[in-house]
Structure 1
Amino acid sequence: MPWWQGLSFSLMSTVAYCILFNVPIRTLFAGGMVGMTGWVVFQVMTVNGASLTLATFGAATTVSLLSQFLSIFLRVPSTNFSVSGIIPLVPGSKAYKAMLAFVNGENLDGVTLVTLTAFAAGAIAAGLILGISIFSVWKGIVTRYAAKRAKAT
């Protein structure tokens, strides 16, 4: 698939899920950009030799951090962006192929694919949590510094 097709499909699928989740219209494009950015990070990491699990983790962390920043900038909950932004990262085809392998009696292939799917799902969850944690620590540091600065003056 050419790179521009991947960009457009990730943007369209993320915007479609934003619409499905009743995200405010003014934030649709930003939500689409979050999903597209996550897909770009995933593709860049896999092209540069990262494993699928590590690339998914990095992309999910990026989606989470962008969601946190956009939630402050656009004054909407961060879940508006993070839930729909991870859609391009979800390993749906691997899960389908795993179930198909079990149905066809190829149990070893099925277990392998289920394991890869579980690793990808775990990487998505861990990446989202890491992004929220990084943002919370950053916000605490900024708040503490602002309080110290206000006391000094």
Structure 2
Amino acid sequence: MSGWLVELWSIPAALGFAVLFNVPPRTLWLSCALALAGHGLRFGLVHAGSDIVLGTLVAALLIGFCAEWWSRRARQAAPVYAVCAAIPMVPGTYMYKAVQALLQLASVTEASQAQQHLVDAGYNIVKAAMILLALAIGIAAPALLWPKKGH
């Protein structure tokens, strides 16, 4: 399947989590649109040569600022839009690889094999944590940096 077609799967993922989190029905379309925009931006940045962590941060900032702007227009809380839109960018692949590497330690017979599995697990855990941190910063930064009127 073509790379950009895979990005369309961010829409049902965001929609599923929005329904699961009881997001008001009138906000569902924007959560899906933000998910597609953020995931598409990250895809574009990564394929242009950027690191996935930086791509995730920029995409999360886009989602965060758009959610903050729209929340002020619609008089809703910004996380209603932003959290469900960012969930498709959670680094499940890196988390899975880290757990797989740790589970493979049970069948190791030589120390050199164990060392490689630990290195693989550590790399994937750190990468997943950095992506999660980028998502958290990107979603929270607009609310912190964009002053509210009257405060």
Q: State if a TM-score over 0.5 links the two structures.
A: yes
CA shift, 1:133, in A, is 3.0
Distance 2:64 2:121 in 1: 30
What amino acid maps onto 1:95 in structure 2?
A: M
Cα 1:54–1:14 change in 2 (3 A) is: same
Residue 9 of structure 2 aligns with which residue? 9
CA shift, 1:5, in A, is 2.5
Distance 2:78 2:49 in 1: 31
CA shift, 1:63, in A, is 0.9
The 5 A counterparts of 1:21-60 are 21-60=21-60
Residue 140 of structure 2 aligns with which residue? 129
Aligned residues: 140
The 5 A counterparts of 1:1-153 are 1-105=1-105, 106-136=117-147, 139=148
Decide whether the 8 Å contact of 2:4 with 2:40 is kept in 1: no
Decide whether the 8 Å contact of 2:56 with 2:89 is kept in 1: yes
Residue 149 of structure 1 aligns with which residue? none
Distance 1:125 1:80 in 2: 14
Q: CA RMSD in A?
A: 1.7
Decide whether the 8 Å contact of 1:63 with 1:82 is kept in 2: yes
Structure 2: segments with no counterpart, 5+ residues: 106-116
Distance 1:109 1:130 in 2: 31
Decide whether the 8 Å contact of 1:57 with 1:124 is kept in 2: yes
CA shift, 1:3, in A, is 4.1
Structure 1's consecutive aligned runs of 4 or more residues displaced over 3 angstroms after TM superposition are none
Distance 1:44 1:72 in 2: 28
Decide whether the 8 Å contact of 1:27 with 1:74 is kept in 2: no
Tell me the SS of whatever aligns to 1:129: helix
Distance 2:54 2:46 in 1: 9
Please, what TM-score do these two structures have when normalized by structure 1? 0.83
Distance 2:60 2:51 in 1: 14
Distance 1:3 1:51 in 2: 17
CA shift, 1:8, in A, is 2.2
Q: Deviations over 1:51-83 (max 9, x none)?
A: 111001101111111111121222221111111
